[in-house]
Amino acid sequence: MVKKISLLAGVLIPVFSFVPNAPLIGRGPYDHSAMLSVGGGLCRKMLGLFLVDALPGTENNQLYSLAYSFSAAYKFPWWDYTFNFRHRFEVSYNDNPDKKFRYASFGWVPELVFWVKPWFFAMGVGPSFKTQVTPTTGGYYMVHAPFSVGLSVPPVSVEVVLRHTSNMYLASPNEGADYLGFSLTYTF
């Protein structure tokens, strides 16, 4: 089953080809994980992250997510270097007490993972669908773009995550929201 999912993900990422026996930084060719994340909204003006100021009140957003993820190895067909990808399938709940909106979302976030044992860096972009149109991201479609730094002591890892959510200007408004959070992952 996992091999079929990994091969499907290999088809969805056409630049890479799947490497079934490549060693990962884990227990074998596949790492399965359960991830719990908690995050709070960031004030863009304070951090100067983006050129556009966020809608006032988004710094009070609260994000909770639960994810299943697995890691698989890929490589460029013309280059003999293997890349570790973490495919995260997550369900999230967002609450903003100031703007009085709440929504759930579900999506897939493929992340490229770089290791400097025991530390790792992960970054990715993935689609997500939400249950409600909000003042920060209009429409029911949005994209999550996380960047994380983590420490892994198998079977547990801890991450600090900076996440941006947006709808990529597919609907109006598109203020987006930014989060700083923590993730706890258990690999089985």
pLDDT, the chain, mean: 77
Domain layout of the chain by residue ranges: 2-187
Q: What is the pLDDT of residues 133-142, one digit of tens each?
A: 887 777 899 9
Checking if the pLDDT of 28 tops 80, the result is no
Q: How confident is the model at residue 53 (pLDDT cuts 50, 70, 90)?
A: low
Average pLDDT of the segment spanning 42-50:
59
pLDDT on residue 105: 93
Average pLDDT of the segment spanning 43-70:
68
- Fold classification of 2-187 is Porin (2.40.160)
pLDDT on residue 89: 94
Q: What is the pLDDT of residues 106-128, one digit of tens each?
A: 999 999 988 888 999 999 999 99
pLDDT above 90 coverage of the chain, percent: 35
pTM of the model: 0.76
Checking if the pLDDT of 22 tops 60, the result is no
DSSP symbols for the chain: -HHHHHHHHHHHSTTSEE-TT---SSSSS-EEEEEEEEEEE--HHHHT-SSSPPPTTGGG-EEEEEEEEEEEEEE-TTS--EEEEEEEEEEEEEEETTTTEEEEEEEEEEEEEEEETTEEEEEE-EEEEESS--SSB-SSEEEEEEEEEEEEETTEEEEEEEEEEE-TTSSS-B--EEEEEEEEEEE-
